[in-house]
Amino acid sequence: MKVIIGKDYAEISKLAAEKMIGEWDSYNILGFATGSTPEGLYQELIQANKDGKISFKDKTTVNLDEYIGLPENHKESYRFFMNTKLFDHVDVDKKNTNVPHAKDEFDVAACKNYDELVNKLGGADIQILGIGENGHIAFNEPNEELSANTNIVKLTDSTIKANSRFFNNEDEVPRYAITMGMGTILKAKEIILLASGVKKADAIKKLVEDDKVTTKNPSTFLKLHPNVTIYITQDIADAINL
């Protein structure tokens, strides 16, 4: 696993974007993530698209996860996030953008269909990831067991609390989500994880300190992948003595 330290959020966003832009033509399937962390990277990609350096015309995208119970046009749905933070500003064909969607927490067919789609595409050529404070990846929450494939999860109190900053209050945060499993995510040929700010230091420590894998910190499953680069800010590196 390669670790790249940038002085701040702007710098890690730029470094990750430069890497992607440099290898753009080798990517057909782009795996995107939500959360606030990839926003800076998306702004860089939007600019590169406007400058004519990259095009999304022939690209297909797959997203990691989505809340259950929010309509697609809800301002906190991950479909809305992707449209407004990236897709609406680049030359992608929206028909080629995929965000999982489950009608309720019992919708196992939606999980199966999403895995079939990802498999048919051959997995993402590059998958962008953020990380939760508790080490969650997409919505794979720390647990005794994890599902390998796309699955429906009950969000932990810690994630509901962390994500309530986007809603009026904690009660409005959906309780369930559909998410690619760690197995689905590991099908990507290359993975980039971005983490900014000391709140993520504990989670990142578990990811880089040794070669142990644990369902208590789903990000540690990334240790099983041969091509992962993590971009972290200097304050995280300092906090964990990197």
For ligand GLP (CB under 6 A), the number of binding residues is 14
Q: Which of residues 125-154 bind ligand GLP (CB under 6 A)?
A: 130-132, 138-139
d(CA 194, CA 131): 7
Whether 134 is catalytic is: yes
3-state DSSP percent of the chain in helix, strand and coil, to 5: 40, 20, 40
CB nearer to ligand GLP: pick between 34 and 60: 34
d(CA 180, CA 188): 12
Which residue among the candidates 49, 98, 134, 140 is catalytic per the annotation? 134
d(CA 16, CA 127): 12
Q: Which of residues 159-198 bind ligand GLP (CB under 6 A)?
A: 159, 163
For the CA atoms of the chain, what is the radius of gyration? 17
Which range in 11-19, 27-35, 106-114, 201-209 contacts ligand GLP by CB under 6 A?
A: 27-35
Whether 11 is catalytic is: no
CB nearer to ligand GLP: pick between 13 and 60: 13
Whether 74 is catalytic is: no
d(CA 106, CA 66): 14
Q: Is 203 in the site for ligand GLP (CB under 6 A)?
A: no
Q: Is 67 in the site for ligand GLP (CB under 6 A)?
A: no
Burial of 199 (0-12, 13-18, 19+ CB in 10 A): middle
Q: Is 43 in the site for ligand GLP (CB under 6 A)?
A: no
At its nearest, how many Å lie between ligand GLP and the CB of residue 32? 10
Q: Is 64 in the site for ligand GLP (CB under 6 A)?
A: yes
Q: How many CB atoms lie within 10 A of CB 163?
A: 19
d(CA 2, CA 106): 38
Whether 136 is catalytic is: yes
At its nearest, how many Å lie between ligand GLP and the CB of residue 42? 12
At its nearest, how many Å lie between ligand GLP and the CB of residue 193? 9
Q: Dump the DSSP string for 193-215.
A: EEE-SGGGHHHHHHHHSSS--BT
CB nearer to ligand GLP: pick between 125 and 174: 174
Q: Is 61 in the site for ligand GLP (CB under 6 A)?
A: no
What strands lie across the sheet with 176-179, from one edge to the other? Answer: 65-67, 176-179, 151-154
Which residue among the candidates 136, 163, 190, 217 is catalytic per the annotation? 136
Q: Which residues are tagged catalytic?
A: 65, 134, 136, 141
- Residues in the site for ligand GLP, rule: CB under 6 A? 33-37, 64-65, 130-132, 138-139, 159, 163
